[in-house]
Amino acid sequence: MNTVMRSAPCIFSARRESPAGILSLCFLAGLLACFIPVGAGSCRDGDGDGDAKAAAKDGGKKKHKGKPNRLAKEKSPYLQQHAYNPVDWYPWGEEAFAKARMTGKPIFLSIGYSTCHWCHVMERESFEDEEIAAYLNEHFVAVKVDREERPDVDRVYMDAVQAMRQRGGWPLSAWLTPAGKPFFGGTYFPPEQFKKLLERIVEVWKGQRALLDEQAGKLTEHLVQQADKFQAQAAISPTLTTGVFSYLDQAHDDQYGGFSGPPRYAPKFPRTSNLDFLLNYSIRIPSKRSETMVYTTLDRMIAGGIRDHLAGGFHRYSTDRHWLLPHFEKMLYDNALISRTLIGAYKRSGNDRYLRVAREALDYVITRLRDKDGGFYSAEDADTEGVEGLTYVWTRKEILDVLGEKPGELFCEFYGVKAGGNFKEERPDPGSPEHANILHLPFDDWGAALAGKRELSLDALYSQVAVSRGKLLKVRDKRAQPFLDSKVLVEWNGLAISALAQAYQVSEDARYLEAAQAAAGFISSRMVRDGALYRRYKDGDVGIRAFLEDYAFLVDGLLDLYESDFDRRWLELALELGRQMVGAFWDEKKGAFFSTASHHEKLILRRKEFYDGALPSGNSLALLDMLRLQELTADKAFEEPVKVFKGLAAGLVEKFPHMHPQLSCALEFILFDPLEIVVCGPLDDPRTRAMLKEIRGRFLPAKVVVHSASAKAAASLSSLVPLVEAKMPIGGKPTAFVCRRRVCKLPARDLVTLRRQLDEMVAAKKASGESK
């Protein structure tokens, strides 16, 4: 078939088994599949390459034309972007489905998000086209969904599209019966193809509706059957996670890092759960190979164009093997997750560079994404004035004009800036800026090589480049800026709280602790109503009851925050939310957590998510949350879920190791036998703080840490944290208790003893010999 071939800045590959030979792959293929745009662009979480075709959005500041539609009343920035389309959009809800039932029209469902490049493209080409809009309005009930607000809707219909097409992405385009059952779907469609597809769907709907209803019913039944297919129990053994290591070992690009295999080795995503697993694995099973894969990947990312070398932080992903050409979108969750991984790598390696880059990313989050009341915004767009990356790229002349010839030449050499540019070279597209450069370091130790070449000390070189970076950033900040999605999501804020808390623990920079405390306070005061947690905050409006990921990610962040300031309110809140999570989301019949609670809207499928992709799955973090809460509080609410879930997690990792690196981290927590560490002594005593610094400076992911200032404080805390019972400073000196399974070593009253005991505890769980 002939189709418009466009590379895509952002899709993920099918990750679940699909029904070969059924549904659109047989019946619907004959009717509609000639319109599937194989290779067409869409925004993704998994694989694809980049393109800078002009997008629809002018920095998020679109000129309004005509009358607003129903989306004008919505809070979602993505829905508001479509509020002046001539398409008669409905938000997801009963009004749309009632209209479809009353008129007998099929539903056209379009799902995307505010910073999605290809969502903008399809809007400009199709949804702002009067002819296409009129046809949609006449023959369909058109529904828009923000996938970041309603991940439940997105996942159900993404499953359906993947079952039909083997891959998915955004904008997600699906056609449903008035009952909400899908019968056809795809992602981005070029306008001419989209028009023909709409006409063909109308023809089939009118002529063979009964058959479409039957096929939609079969697809829905298939999705329901698939939902629990992968749940099976297995035993936990010391070699359980070896399959995850083996997969990553084979998939790793040894030259440039990352885990996209041959022949293209691209695109590359910062799937941090891969790196986190390798760091965890290297503690229990000594493995130079594990660490090498982590450091190679991080070093290449740090050097590449995926990193914002001026303002800090990381873009969404790289479209090439070398991490040079990014998709320029900047997400809160990416920067939180990458920062956590960098901090882990710093602890494991002692390389200060990882901590410095993590701090730069978190400084970006605090500076650019923080709401005045403490919450964190979601993302900055990839596009500015319809061109992807326009804000971030530089011509050589622009740099020399700002910095002057001598410092400008040094800066250009340091960051690989060429007169002809490298952007268009990597992305030969009419929309790409001429002579533009993406700042990057030509190779990892480029600074040392350039310092020698220029006969400068390394400190002098870095100092001069830092001054130049500051000047260029001031100029860049005066340019047109990407659209900022200012909604606050609990899920992603939980990750930010965790990253900031961990940054404080290793840096002792109070800014990070204060930012984490403020975000946690914002959520607890603004996003909890009548004891119920809500997912989204925007312009003073709180909406959408929280999903599993909101609970799991927030509890994770609260536990890290508790281990940073030892304020018991964070642990109490984490415990309460953990109990709510089990009560609302746990599957009593088959185990594991549903993504939605019993009080959520009933969709065609109540599903569970186990796949660790761009973000860890809610189930992966929920298991780790319960393990940590159980260690800290011994609360009975988690006993049975943990017992059941351990076996399910083992079964998933055993059967599908490549899909579950974060779930494998939870299993590593179990296999290591977590340490229980109690530090007793006033926090204003330098000796107490020195003990905490020693503990926090080590990469010990399988542990819980509690502090008690005195015997009186321990007695008060013991009802919440039984670990501290009868533990107190001995002889007036700060004292640490290092335990495993509630069996403790002799009290450690000095750093030498504490270090020795920690070393012994780690050594006791190391496997003999090294893996590869």
Share of the chain above pLDDT 90, in %: 84
DSSP state of 615: S
Q: How confident is the model at residue 264 (pLDDT cuts 50, 70, 90)?
A: confident
Q: Which tens digit of pLDDT belongs to each residue from 577-607?
A: 999 999 999 999 999 999 999 999 999 999 9
Please give the C-alpha separations between residue 676 and each of 336, 631, 672, in angstroms, as whole numbers. Answer: 26, 8, 12
pLDDT at 468: 99
Residues 301-326: what's their mean pLDDT? Answer: 97
For residues 469 and 476, what is the distance between their CA atoms, to the nearest angstrom? 10
Q: What would the two tokens of residue 555 be?
A: 């509890």
**Higher local confidence (pLDDT), 10 or 273:** 273
Domain spanning 12-227: which superfamily? Glutaredoxin (3.40.30.10)
In 92-190, at which residue ranges do the beta strands (DSSP E only) sit?
A: 107-112, 141-146, 167-168, 172-176, 182-186
Which DSSP category does 125 fall into?
I
pLDDT at 429: 66
With 50 as the cut, is the pLDDT of residue 694 above it? yes
Residue 46 has what pLDDT?
Answer: 55
Tokens of 358: 């993590």
What's the pLDDT score for residue 431? 65
The third-level CATH classification (topology) of the domain covering 673-763 is Glutaredoxin (3.40.30)
| Across 227-244, average pLDDT | 89
Cα separation of 461 and 448, whole Å? 9
Distance CA 665, CA 642 (A): 15
Mean pLDDT of 144-149: 98
Question: In this predicted structure, which of 165-169, 224-228, 239-243, 494-498 has the lowest mean pLDDT?
Answer: 165-169
Query: Residue 262's pLDDT is what?
Result: 79
Q: Cα separation of 683 and 685, whole Å?
A: 5
For residue 229, the 8-state DSSP code is: T
Residue range 387-416: average pLDDT? Answer: 96
Residue 426 pLDDT exceeds 80: no
* 242-389+485-671 has the same fold as 12-227: no
Distance between CA atoms of residues 493 and 761, nearest Å: 33
CB 81 within 8 A of CB 68: no
Q: What is the mean pLDDT of residues 605-633?
A: 98
pLDDT, one tens digit per residue, over 370-381 is 999 999 999 999
Quick one: average pLDDT of 530-536?
Answer: 97
H-helix or E-strand spanning residue 21: none
Per-residue pLDDT averaged across 204-217, rounded? Answer: 96
Handedness of CA 128, 130, 136, 142 (dihedral sign): positive
Distance CA(669)–CA(667), nearest Å, equals 5
278-312, pLDDT tens digit by residue?
999 999 998 899 999 999 999 999 999 999 999 99
Asked if residue 25 has pLDDT above 50, the reply is: no
Find the radius of gyration of the CA atoms of the chain. Answer: 26
Q: CATH says 242-389+485-671 is which class? A: mainly alpha
Please, which residues have CB within 8 angstroms of residue 51's CB and are 6 or more apart in sequence? 6, 7, 8, 9, 41, 427, 429
Residues found in the chain: 772
pLDDT recorded at residue 432:
67
Structure-block tokens of residue 14: 């099918």
pLDDT level of residue 260 (50, 70, 90 thresholds): confident
pLDDT in tens, 716-746: 999 999 999 999 999 999 999 999 999 999 9
Q: Around Cβ 152, how many Cβ atoms within 10 Å?
A: 23
**Cα–Cα distance for residue pair 388/441, rounded to 1 Å:** 21
Strand-pair partners of 748: 736
Contacts 24+ apart (CB under 8 A), 566-571: 566/683, 566/706, 566/707, 567/517, 568/717, 568/720, 570/520, 571/632, 571/633, 571/720, 571/721
**288-303 and 332-349 helices cross at what angle (nearest 10)?**
130
**Cα 569 vs. chain centroid, distance in angstroms?**
27
Residue 322 has pLDDT above 50, yes or no: yes
C-alpha closest to that of 431 among 8, 49, 53: 53
The reported pTM is 0.94
What pLDDT sits at residue 425? 65
Return all residues near 271 (Cβ < 8 A) that are at least 6 apart.
259, 612, 613, 614, 661
Pick the closest to residue 11 from 48, 59, 56 (CA basis): 48
Which pLDDT value is given to residue 41? 66
Q: Are 147 and 155 contacting, i.e. CB atoms less than 8 angstroms apart?
A: no
* Band of residue 767 on the pLDDT scale cut at 50, 70, 90: low
On the question of pLDDT at 118 being above 50, the answer is yes
Query: How much is the average pLDDT of 181-201?
Result: 97
Per-residue confidence band for 386, with pLDDT thresholds at 50, 70 and 90: confident
CA atoms within 13 A of residue 673's CA, in its CB half-sphere: 14
Cα–chain center distance at 679: 33
60-75 average pLDDT score: 80
For the chain, the average pLDDT equals: 91
Q: Which residues pair with 533 in a beta bridge?
A: 528
Name the residue ranges covered by the structural domains of the chain.
12-227, 242-389+485-671, 396-479, 673-763
Q: What is the 3-state secondary structure (H, E, C) of 293-347?
A: HHHHHHHHHHHCCCECCCCCCECCEECCCCCCCEECCEEHHHHHHHHHHHHHHHH
Between the ranges 4-13, 178-187, 420-429, where is the mean pLDDT highest?
178-187
Please list, in sequence order, all residues whose beta carbon lies within 8 angstroms of the beta carbon of residue 30, skipping any fewer than 6 positions away: none
Q: How far is CA 761 from the centre of its chain?
A: 33
Instruction: Report, as an integer, the average pLDDT of 743-768.
Output: 94
- Dig out the tokens for 102 from the structure: 């009353």
Is a pLDDT exceeding 70 seen at residue 56?
A: no
Interatomic CA distance for residues 667 and 619, integer angstroms: 12
Which tens digits make up the pLDDT trace of 447-501?
Answer: 888 999 999 999 999 999 999 999 999 999 999 999 999 999 999 999 999 999 9
Distance CA 345, CA 358 (A): 10
- Classified as helix, coil or strand, 36 is coil
* Alpha-carbon gap, residue 747 to 761, rounded angstroms: 14
d(CA 414, CA 609) in angstroms, rounded, equals 44
- Residue 536's DSSP bridge partners are 489, 543
Asked if 564 and 501 touch (Cβ cutoff 8 Å), the reply is yes
